[in-house]
Structure 1
Amino acid sequence: MQRIRRQFSLWLLLMVAMLGAQAVQARELPGFTELVKQAAPGVVNISTTREIERRNMRFNGPQGQEIPERFRQFFGDQMPFGPGPGSGGPGDSEQRSSLGSGFIISEDGYILTNAHVVDGADEIVVRLNDHRELKAELIGADAKTDIALLKVDATDLPTLSIGDSEQLEVGEWVAAIGSPFGFDHSVTSGIISAINRTLPSDTYVPFIQTDVAINPGNSGGPLFNLDGEVVGINSQIFTRSGGFMGLSFAIPINVAMNIADQLRSDGRVSRGWLGVVIQPVSRDLAESFGLEGVRGALIAEVARDSPAAEAGLQAGDIILSVNNEQVERFSNLPRLIGRVSPGGDAELEVLRDGERIDETVTVGDWPKDGTQAAMSDGMNDTQTRLGIAVAPLEPEVLERNNLPSGVRVTAVAPSGVAADAGVRAGDIIVALNQQAIDSPERLAEVFALIKGKRVVPLRIYRDGRSLFVALRLAQNEQ
């Protein structure tokens, strides 16, 4: 009996310890009630309408809202929803609506959201927390960072507190408020999974990666820290299923506010331009150039009369740092240069002929035709219009990869047809519009024969396998 009592006492002590641990853990989990009460009035719902031809209609989601363009990038061509009502014949048109989120940054009516939320809108309506609906004016938008600044005619509006995204740490709790699928002021929470994340088609944004549940309609809404400060703008998700899969990406608020300030004062965004074609540094390339470790951006080509050319940069240089900030991946370079004010100096650490040297470059202003400016003047017109630079493939490369023909993509412009399709530097183009490609000249020939098509297939070879991507051509490319 005494032994039974001892065992029971030990079991009781164990249960008390477990319950105590659970209570401590519960106390450590954050609560978002006060945050929501304070922040919700500054979060808005954004709806847009536009006239479109029915033959070009996009797929629609629940309640008729259009899936935002950025989410379509990750959903792919097979949307989880059927086509919208009224599929009339060619030439017919009707109004379509889309939904997104935003938040108020000034009492006199300035609102931040994503550029893709209002892209192509004929009318923008902002619904406030008090159910007022106000027409908004688009002050400006920057597609490269996916930021748009709106203005409504109102005063004494509730504003949100702006935080410092540079202070964020991985593992920190964050919360989002937005309108997923049109459900106003929905709150989700999670932690920061990574910072300074570079996505394939967005080289100007060091994204905040979180596991906060984000869905269509959350685009443009704020991401908060536990102090109730806005630290990011929810912009993208990655999915294979068509729904949230635990990976969402937000634009750091420091980046967003810098863009907003430029749009408010100048109506446009100025960013630094170097004028080089770059490619990643592979392990073999690093060894061949005498570089320890795989890092930096390898200059494949220098545009004539560019800031890089004037500074004496050369093909074969590897840029290791910009203003003492390391270039860990080649895709980081456009962002580092882009945040240098045009006319300002950038101090570069460069590896040339096995030696590290310092170069000072006076950064230029990104030309209006950004795709063409990013590429070299020596490229043919087709490559410029597609936003890529390509080079012939050596026979041994074709043989090693068991390919009959192809050309290598040496660089992809930050914005352009190829970037939008997800083409990457290092891809091998095997066919365009089902026509084999064996040289840069053949690529130009096939491209010139494409008439009357809005979307054409591009077959590429990447990481040991072939895949197709869709090139969505501009109206003047058809």
Structure 2
Amino acid sequence: MNDRVNSDITTPRKILRPRRLALLGTVAALGVAALAIAPGISPYGINALIAPAQAAEAAATPPGFGDLVSKVKPAVISVRVRIDQDNDKSAMLQQNRMGSDEDTPFDQFSRQFGFRFPGGANGMPRQRHQMITGEGSGFFISADGYAVTNNHVVDHAESVQVTMDDGTTYTAKVVGTDPKTDLALIKVDGKKDFPFVRFSDQKPRIGDWVVAVGNPFGLGGTVTAGIVSASGRDIGNGPYDDFIQIDAPINKGNSGGPAFDMNGNVIGVNTAIFSPSGGSVGIGFDIPASTAKLVVAQLKDKGAVTRGWLGVQVQPVTSDIAESLGLKEARGAIVDNPQDGSPAAKAGIEAGDVITAVNGTAIKDSRDLARTIAGLAPGTSVTLDVSRKGDSKTVTLALGELPNERQAKGNSKGNADEGRGQPGAGTPRLGLSLAPAGDVQGAGQKGVVVTEVDPQGPAAQRGIRTGDVILNVGGKAVSNVDEVRSELAQAKSSGKRSVLLQVRGAEATRFVAVPLA
């Protein structure tokens, strides 16, 4: 009986051992993707096990940008400019300057590794009338050497030099600039085979991948990636703001560089960042390709940009305005005042009219109207949908050409603080630069326009901003800088500690008491 029991136990063991080995062999085969299959296991079962694993691994590994970068990077250039120190009003000096008194992150990097640069950086003294060097980015848009960059990169440049990805340098000339959109076109002569990229014909979607290439902090050839974060951003940079927001890191020196979609087309021109620290925090702004194409085409054709002109001062339609006018929704632009002799005035547009559409396309707000009209050529016939006192009407007119801001002549424009420190000069300092309203397009004819504000001055501390119009000083109407100085001096000589200004801002007219420094 014992023998029979032992026999019963031994037999199953002999059967089980081959099965264990077969299972181990199957596991090993799966591990190395072998084709040897243990008896009883279908090859279809193995495929079903392997396929999900491969799919999961592929999903966990996003595709790289290497092929895209190798395709577009040769067309991206570093732009180096030299600017006379006396011309340092250039906006470029505030955003991309190197070798200046400002302690940039690149200065810190340089000191850490023992590099030193002349001209005031790293504690070295600055000399008067020296040339300042600034750096930005750009990209070729044609094989014959046309390249795009920012206006603030080449503004007031005495010379422009570009460096390609392979280190080759060329001298470039400025073909034309457009400060209103911060775009510039430069040209390198002598070659017909430059690598170049094209602007995209499609508007990017929020969430699409974006790759930025440029010259941050003068380091050159830097690639970053991210997504399109938002579109239609108005950051107060100019009258036609319509920026694409991206989170691909861009920094000082990236200005003028391209942002690419995954097809290698330029969706935007890097132009600004939001940064409390001076470095990237993931909020960058690009000029859309659609805007850049129109501007660049005009710069190439005639070296300047002409825009359609309607000749109205407008403001957005708020919900309160819409309700008071009986409008169904708060959309469109309400006319504050048509300018005398303008196309709008000749066509019968009146103050209080609400422009709701141009050529059948709805207008969102006053800025949308400005961008739409500016995108049309002078002389273009347009149809405006207008709401007037609850009634709808259609007005057809031919656009004029947007006048350039008239430059003041002689002493008509100047600093309200000029003369300070001169014999007999007793004008109080407000920290303002002013120009007669009649010399600034769209400002009207009364008062003086604030063209620049010292952020540390008493006027800035009382809320005076660039673009405000000062109508009177101390109860006296003013129309030029000399009258402002005279009233300030009289107020001070009378022993007053402050002077009352009547100021017309973008929203309303108000009185502001400014201390006499």
- Give the TM-score normalised by the residue count of structure 2: 0.66
Q: Distance in 1 between matches of 2:251 and 2:209?
A: 19
1:431-475, CA deviations, whole angstroms, 9 ceiling, x for partnerless residues?
Answer: 589xx9785976847954359xxxxxx999999xx9x9xxxxxxx
Note if 1:417 corresponds to 2:445.
Answer: no
Q: Distance in 2 between matches of 1:232 and 1:388?
A: 30
Matched residue SS, 2:378: coil
Q: Specify the code of the residue in structure 2 equivalent to 1:48.
A: V
1:329-366, CA deviations, whole angstroms, 9 ceiling, x for partnerless residues?
Answer: 21111110001111001221111111222111211111
User: Which of the residues 174, 178, 199 maps onto 1:138?
Assistant: 174
C-alpha contact (below 8 Å) 2:243/2:288 kept by paired residues: yes
Q: Specify the code of the residue in structure 2 equivalent to 1:248.
A: G
1:64 counterpart residue number: 99
1:97 counterpart residue number: 133
2:6 counterpart residue number: none
C-alpha contact (below 8 Å) 2:145/2:187 kept by paired residues: yes
Kindly report which structure 2 residues correspond to 1:409-448, keeping only aligned pairs within 5 A, or say none. Answer: 417=451, 444=478, 448=482
Matched residue SS, 1:145: coil
Residues 51-60 or 37-46, more deviating = 51-60
User: Which of the residues 382, 399, 402 maps onto 1:363?
Assistant: 399
Shift of 1:115: 0.7
User: Which of the residues 377, 381, 396 maps onto 1:345?
Assistant: 381
C-alpha contact (below 8 Å) 1:163/1:230 kept by paired residues: yes
Residues 260-269 or 34-43, more deviating = 260-269
Q: Distance in 2 between matches of 1:272 and 1:318?
A: 19
2:69 counterpart residue number: 36
Kindly report which structure 2 residues correspond to 1:191-210, keeping only aligned pairs within 5 A, or say none. Answer: 191-210=227-246
1:299-340, CA deviations, whole angstroms, 9 ceiling, x for partnerless residues?
Answer: 101111101111111110111122222221211111100011
Q: Distance in 2 between matches of 1:196 and 1:181?
A: 28
1:46 counterpart residue number: 79
Q: Specify the code of the residue in structure 2 equivalent to 1:347.
A: T
Q: Specify the code of the residue in structure 1 equivalent to 2:153.
A: V
1:164-194, CA deviations, whole angstroms, 9 ceiling, x for partnerless residues?
Answer: 3533211111110000001111011111112
C-alpha contact (below 8 Å) 1:201/1:419 kept by paired residues: no
Higher relative contact order (CA 8 A, sep 6+): 1
User: Which of the residues 383, 393, 415 maps onto 2:437?
Assistant: 383
Structure 1's unaligned 5+ residue stretches are 1-15, 68-81, 373-379, 393-406, 422-426, 452-457, 469-478
Cα-Cα RMSD: 4.1
Kindly report which structure 2 residues correspond to 1:243-258, keeping only aligned pairs within 5 A, or say none. Answer: 243-258=279-294
User: Which of the residues 312, 317, 324 maps onto 1:276?
Assistant: 312
2:10 counterpart residue number: none
Q: Distance in 2 between matches of 1:437 and 1:369?
A: 19
Q: Distance in 2 between matches of 1:419 and 1:296?
A: 32
Note if 1:296 corresponds to 2:329.
Answer: no
Q: Distance in 2 between matches of 1:280 and 1:420?
A: 29
2:110 counterpart residue number: none
C-alpha contact (below 8 Å) 1:54/1:93 kept by paired residues: no
Q: Distance in 1 between matches of 2:83 and 2:344?
A: 42
1:26 counterpart residue number: 60
C-alpha contact (below 8 Å) 2:175/2:299 kept by paired residues: yes
Q: Distance in 2 between matches of 1:116 and 1:214?
A: 16
2:113 counterpart residue number: none
2:165 counterpart residue number: 129
Structure 2's unaligned 5+ residue stretches are 1-49, 103-118, 409-433, 487-500, 513-517
The verdict on how the C-alpha distance between 1:386 and 1:341 changes in structure 2, with shifts beyond 3 A counting, is closer
1:239 counterpart residue number: 275
Q: Please say which structure displays the higher CA radius of gyration.
A: 2
- Give the TM-score normalised by the residue count of structure 1: 0.71
Aligned pairs, how many? 393
Q: Distance in 1 between matches of 2:284 and 2:454?
A: 19
State the identity as a percent.
35
Note if 1:161 corresponds to 2:197.
Answer: yes
Q: Distance in 1 between matches of 2:441 and 2:453?
A: 7
Q: Specify the code of the residue in structure 2 equivalent to 1:417.
A: T
